Structure 1
Amino acid sequence: MDRIGGDLVVETLRALGADTVFGLPGQHALGLFEALRRAPGLTLVGARVENNLAFAADGFARARLTADPHGPVPVTPMIVSTGPGALLTLASLQEARAASVPVLGISSQVPAAGLGGGRHGYLHELPDQRASFRDVVKSTHVVRTAAQIPTALREAWESAATAPYGPVWVEIPQDVLLAPATLPELTSVRAAPVPLEPLPELIAEAARLLDAAENPAILAGGGVLRAGAAEPLRELAEALRAPVLSTFGGKGAFGWDHPLSGQSWLEDWHSTEFLAAADVLLVIGSGLGELSSNYHRFRPRGRMIQIEADAGKLAANHPALGIHADAGHALRALAAAVSRRDPDGRAETAVADLLAAVTARLDAQPLDLERRVLGEVRAALPQDTPSYWDMTILGYWAWSAWNADGAPIHTAQGAGGLGYGLPGALGAAAARRGPVLAVSGDGGAAYGFAELATAVQHGLDVTWLIVDDGGYGILREYMTGQFGRAHATELARPDLVALARAFGVPATLSTVDTLRADLAAALATPGPAVVVLPAVLRMFEPTHLDK
């Protein structure tokens, strides 16, 4: 068959650097999938539902970015059909936007005759499909002729790969995708994201403030990880003798057991006060949103410096010296600009006192089960095995307590939607060799049961831990805590072990005593596996000192 518009899309993606595409066919997108069928060098990974497809593309991009943060930005193409298929990706793209994940969404569109006030009544037609995505993704791009395809995709790719990274959207009419291609084969399309470098005078002022500080502290966010800036962060912290706490999205940016590491207990009032008491607080790669600010109870009493790639977040929640920059460029510049202090042990003592206070608070609560379960999961993971977590009580524990050194963690805490764990892990498994762990509660797991078929079809090496507490456990806790009782949180559910086996996936009914061994065995065996742990876990009480 002669080349068609769909071939122009695939050729452009290959030229831009894509080697994997996530896709789910649909009537208007057939031209794209015919082009993918005959495209050399591109792997197509499917899914059973479009929202899970978008989560998988997100997981793939995060895995690639974690593995090589200094390489090309892993913009990950995802292809779906018009209308219902496209709309199903919105909640997943909201997570990608909140977590700054570079996903390139491509959808078909009704024929051009049905656009711009023309002929109406096409299947899957929306009055304005682009408008549905405009306030969810970073940028939208519309193609109306085949000649516009390479430029639109290049612009979208550059947008996704420019700090702050984020999802973008391109739509192309069905008839354009199916029409004979008149352009020659495309091999030289290149994207050139512009580096987001800090203004030198702002770095000089930040260095002056930090050098004059008697009690500096650092809060490291996800932007540090995305920039691959862990090393300049360590250099800066050690030069300043400044304690470093990490946001939930920034776990792994600073060594968990480093003497200056206050870890990431950001829902603990001791940590909130520790940061608030700094005379100069440097916030890097975080917008200081709800979770990072202890639900907006954080009140800094000293000066604040905020380095953030998203200009809209600069000084948005607290007054600050705002530096609009990629965290990597800014940290390298700052580390070179500040004066090095002699160690005197004060910062290390302050960090030790902070962690002792957090530990004492936990020890005073009946949380042995929860702490043991999380410890068993962490101990079961082989070195460098990533994990993908749903919005579940064990996941909430992991936000604070997970040691991400040698065990990268990815969660849905950006937007907070259910269902991320399994499809995110499937995407990661498509990006790497070796096992991946997914963690869900039984409520979130129900969003992704169909993707067990995807795991089997593609032979993806994912072990899925499902903590079965009979319902939406965290909502049960929230409602009981606020109203004294819960409503609509208890769930009828299948036999989870039998369900997994029906898909041809090995499954184990575990206990707390056998959890580590069951997980380790599943992770050591290539291919998908399910481990079900019946357990009712509880959240810790933060104990706010301001009450």
Structure 2
Amino acid sequence: MSEHNQPNQPNQPNQPAEHQRNGGDLVVETLQALGARTVFGIPGQHALGLFDALSRSDLQFVSNRVENNAAFAADGYSRATGEVGVLFLSTGPGALTSLAGLQEAYATAVPLVVVASQIPLSGLGARRKGMLHQLDDQKASARNVTKSQITVHHASGIPSAIQDAWADAITVPQGPVWVEVPQDVLLGEVMVPPVQDALAVPYDHPPREELVAESVRWLAASTRTAIVAGGGVRRSGDEAERELLRVAELLQAPVVCSPGGVGAFPSDHELSMGSWVEDRHVTEVLEDAEVLLVIGSSLGEVTSNYFTLEPRGKLIQIDAEPRVLETNFPTLGVRADAGQALGALADALEAAAGQGAAGSPDDGTWAGAEWRGRSAPQVVAEVNRKVQERLEGQDLNREQRFMADVRSAVPSGMQTFWDMTIAAYWAWNVWDAQSGQFHSAQGAGGLGYGFPAAFGGALGLASQGRSGADGRVLAVAGDGSAMYSIAELAAARQHDAAVTWLIVDDGGYGILREYMEDTFGQATATELARPDFVALAESFGVPAEAVPVEEVGPALTRAFAGEGPNVVVVQTRLKMWAPSHLED
């Protein structure tokens, strides 16, 4: 039976009737009242009430081509702008297709409000034969990848549900929140007056005073303190990064950023070990610390150098997500927003120094911290030198030059979005975000993130009035991950998004090829037939060029000077670095 002959179809008269406000209007009005300006998604039969209401609103609708890419785009919009991303989904297949994108937002704590349609109320909890798109429990499918889920059963409940979802999404740990509204509730006439204002305030999560005091006692007594800065620092904003700098300088503590925390600490600072969490020389510094201060990181697989990290000292872990505290190591767990906790620590350390606390220095810093006769900057310089020497001994000149050429071409304030590709693995460790922002799919690690997220980010920046180099973004992907999101070239062209897409074409799933060759001596199912990416992009009306790897810098410079979307393709095989060992 075709979709158009299914039961429970809304009335579709030949002539449009005079409009009466319905549930869809309440959704849109509430979102606007909360400050939403842009909505991502794809129309669907049960969601038509939402999309009809959009036509009467000032919200910009971004027409994606695949629902998981719409979720990535809403994610990128939120990361680039600091606003809540909004996603409209249709029932069943549309909702399910979005889940991979929502997993990344959930794992990386990106605030989204997801409004999904549902089958009519009469079918909820039943298995009616022939009811289109029906799932036994649609919310259950979303439960693993969203903070909370709610089904609205009456139109009068829509404004409160959307408002509550917004507040939940922006409360740390932030994340996507799922609201579903049945088809007949979206289409039904409502007596609820137009929504004029809505207020969604996040719950506050300051650190507990006794935990701050105990942390300061530990830190004041430590002569070797090291810091791991995670994504929670970046998500707390510029103020959190300033407080991180203040704490690090007070403690004279070496700082390493996790992949999610890239850019949270100045890479050119004398205390910065960059982001080389996957280097054993860096791991040894973390292990040798008397106190290891971890902020906004779960110390998960990558940040713990694949669970080889074994701290020998005390560990203080600050995170807004209580589930990660003490998960991998015994810690003094401090459940708090990273920025508030860092500010409280810095103030308390300065106050303790001013009061002449035991071990406090005379100059206002805890500069008595000496790493076995060396200063912290000396330790950091030695570690950074060893990391570079190790790389130079592995015939990685092509890879290092490639990353340097891309970094040189990218303006200092440009935001970049990286797919799961060998170039991104390098970027996790070597990228200097400068005054821009670094975004990658390290949370869930799914393919296809880079381009749709960058597309959403570019539209977000444009909505804030940013243009030219200040509004353009860069996406980086491999040829394998690029095929996941190639359809979004049509969306980028349709919405004239200022996004440059760098595709590193190595003929397959490059990182999986290396893993398999290293483990089994050969790779299986990693090689891919792929299109002529230049011709394919041009078929969408998107300018593109292919260049040798040595010319990637000038090609990107040309692309950044363009208008709308464009593509640069480089055919090359980048290699990963070999793991380090202390005997290196």
Q: Same fold, TM exceeding 0.5?
A: yes
What CA distance in whole angstroms lies between the structure 2 residues aligned with 1:337 and 1:276? 25
1:121 is displaced (CA, Å) by 2.9
Q: What corresponds to 1:503 in structure 2? A: 540
Indicate yes or no: 2:471 matched with 1:431: no
2:58 maps to 1:29: no
| 1:154 equivalent among 155, 160, 163 | 163
Alpha-carbon distance in 2 for matches of 1:470, 1:406? 33
The amino acid across from 2:558 in the alignment is A
**d(CA) in 1 for partners of 2:412 and 2:305?**
31
Q: Pick the aligned partner of 2:564 from 519, 523, 527.
A: 527
> What letter is aligned with 1:4?
N
SS at match of 2:318: strand
2:220 and 2:366 in contact (8 A); partners too: no
User: Quick check: 1:205 aligned with 2:214?
Assistant: yes
Write the mapping of 1:301-340 to structure 2, written as runs, cut at 5 A: 301-338=312-349, 339=353, 340=364
- Residue of structure 1 in register with 2:501 after alignment: 464
Partner secondary structure for residue 263 of structure 2: coil
Equivalent residue for 1:45, pick from 49, 62, 81 = 62
| Alpha-carbon distance change, 128 to 342 in structure 1, aligned in 2, over 3 angstroms | closer
Letter in structure 1 aligned against 2:404? G
Match of 2:408 in 1: 379
Distance in structure 1 (CA, Å) of the matches to 2:127 and 2:167: 32
From the superposition, tell whether residues 145 and 543 of structure 1 become closer, same or farther in structure 2 (CA, over 3 Å).
same
Between the aligned partners of 2:232 and 2:277, the Cα distance in structure 1 is 17
Out of 376, 384, 398, the position equivalent to 1:347 is 376
Instruction: Supply the distance in 1 between the matched residues of 2:144 and 2:502 (Cα, whole angstroms).
Output: 34
Taking the aligned partners of 1:176 and 1:510, their CA distance within structure 2 comes to 53
Deviations 1:289-310 (A, max 9, x none): 1111111111000000000000
1:8-47 alpha-carbon deviations (Å, 9 max, x no partner): 000010111111111210000000000011102x111120
Which whole-Å CA distance do the structure 2 matches of 1:306 and 1:446 have between them? Answer: 39
Task: State the distance in 1 between where 2:473 and 2:84 align.
Answer: 21
Q: Does the Cα contact within 8 Å between 1:82 and 1:108 map onto a contact in 2?
A: yes
CA distance in 2, matches of 1:135, 1:243: 36
Residues 370/145 of structure 1: CA separation in 2 closer, same or farther (3 Å cut) = same
Q: Which residue of 1 aligns with 2:387?
A: 358
Residue 255 of structure 2 is matched in structure 1 by 244
User: Which of 405, 408, 417 is 1:388 aligned to?
Assistant: 417
Distance across 1 between alignment mates of 2:435 and 2:342: 23
Indicate the residue corresponding to 1:398 in structure 2: 427
Distance 1:407 1:368 in 2: 26
In structure 2, the residue matched to 1:292 is: 303
Q: CA deviation at 1:152?
A: 1.0
Residue of structure 2 equivalent to 1:63: 80
Give the aligned partner of residue 411 of structure 1.
Answer: 440
Residues paired across the two proteins, number = 538
Q: What are the Cα deviations for residues 83-112 of structure 1, in whole angstroms up to 9, with x where unaligned?
A: 000000101111101100001111100011
Percentage identity across paired residues of the two chains:
55
Quick one: which amino acid aligns to residue 415 of structure 1? Answer: A
Distance 1:46 1:56 in 2: 10
Unaligned runs of 5+ in 1: 66-73
* Structure 1 CA distance for aligned equivalents of residues 24 and 503 of structure 2: 40
Shift of the alpha carbon at 1:78? Answer: 0.3
Equivalent AA in structure 2 for residue 531 of structure 1: V
| Cα root mean square deviation, aligned | 1.2
Please give the per-residue CA displacement for 1:421-450, whole angstroms capped at 9, x wherever unaligned.
Answer: 100000100111221100000000000111
Counterpart for residue 368 of structure 1? 397
Partner of 1:449: 486
Does residue 172 in structure 1 map to residue 145 in structure 2? no
Aligned to 2:6: none
Aligned mates of 2:196, 2:294 — CA distance in 1: 42
Classify the secondary structure of the residue corresponding to 1:382: coil
Give me the TM-score of the superposition, normalised by structure 1.
0.97
The answer to whether the Cα contact below 8 Å between 1:51 and 1:90 also exists between their aligned partners in 2 is: yes
Give the match's secondary structure for 2:145.
Answer: coil
Where 1:35 maps in the other structure, the secondary structure is helix
Give distance in 1, aligned partners of 2:583 and 2:205: 39
State the Cα distance separating 1:218 from its structure 2 match. Answer: 0.7
- Give the deviation of 1:407 after TM superposition: 3.1
Q: What is the letter of the counterpart of residue 342 of structure 2?
A: L
Partner SS, residue 413 of structure 2: coil
Query: Which AA in structure 1 matches 2:545?
Result: T
Distance in 1 of aligned mates of 2:129 and 2:139: 16
User: What residue in structure 2 maps to residue 540 of structure 1?
Assistant: 577
Shift of 1:342: 6.0
Q: Assess if the C-alpha contact under 8 Å between 1:58 and 1:103 holds in 2.
A: yes
Q: Provide the C-alpha distance between the structure 1 equivalents of 2:507 and 2:140, rounded to a whole number of angstroms.
A: 39
Q: AA paired with 1:448?
A: S
1:448-502 CA-partner distances (Å, limit 9, x unpaired) = 1110000100000010000000000000000000000000000011111100111
For residue 528 of structure 2, give the secondary structure of its aligned residue in structure 1: coil
Q: Do the aligned partners of 1:224 and 1:284 also contact (CA within 8 Å) in 2? A: yes
Distance across 2 between alignment mates of 1:48 and 1:540: 36
Amino acid at match of 1:385: M
2:141 and 2:249 mapped to 1: Cα distance?
Answer: 47
Relative to structure 2, which stretch is displaced further, 415-424 or 187-196?
187-196
Give, in whole Å, the separation in 1 of the partners of 2:460 and 2:583: 46
Is 1:274 equivalent to 2:261 in the alignment? no
Q: Does the C-alpha gap of structure 1 residues 176 and 546 become closer, same or farther in structure 2, counting only changes over 3 Å?
A: farther
Off by >4 Å, runs of 4+ in structure 1: 342-345
1:513: Cα distance to partner? 2.4
Distance in structure 1 (CA, Å) of the matches to 2:86 and 2:492: 19
The 3 A distance-change label for structure 1 pair 546 and 124 is: farther
Where in structure 2 are there 5+ consecutive unaligned residues?
A: 1-18, 354-363, 369-373
Q: Tell me the amino acid that sits aligned with residue 309 of structure 1.
A: A
Q: Which amino acid aligns with 2:24?
A: G
Of 114, 118, 126, the residue aligned with 2:123 is 114
- 1:219 correspondence with 2:228: yes
Does structure 1 retain, via aligned residues, the 8 Å contact 2:498–2:565? yes
1:358 deviates by 0.4
The answer for the alignment partner of 1:54 in structure 2 is: 71
TM-score, normalisation: structure 2: 0.91
Conserved 8 A contact 2:127-2:136 = no
The separation in 2 between residues aligned to 1:116 and 1:150, in whole angstroms, is 24
Task: Supply the distance in 1 between the matched residues of 2:395 and 2:57 (Cα, whole angstroms).
Answer: 57
* Residue identity opposite 2:276 in structure 1: W
After superposition, what is the alpha-carbon deviation per residue over 1:39-87, rounded to whole angstroms, capped at 9, x for unaligned?
A: 02x111120000000000000000012xxxxxxxx22110010000000
User: Is the contact between residue 114 and residue 120 of structure 1 (CA under 8 Å) also seen in structure 2?
Assistant: no
Shift of 1:546: 7.7
Larger Rg: 2
Tell me, in whole angstroms, the C-alpha distance in 1 between the residues paired with 2:273 and 2:192.
Answer: 57
Q: CA deviation at 1:406?
A: 2.1
1:96-111 to structure 2, matched below 5 A, reads: 96-111=105-120
Contact preservation (8 Å) 1:23, 1:80: yes
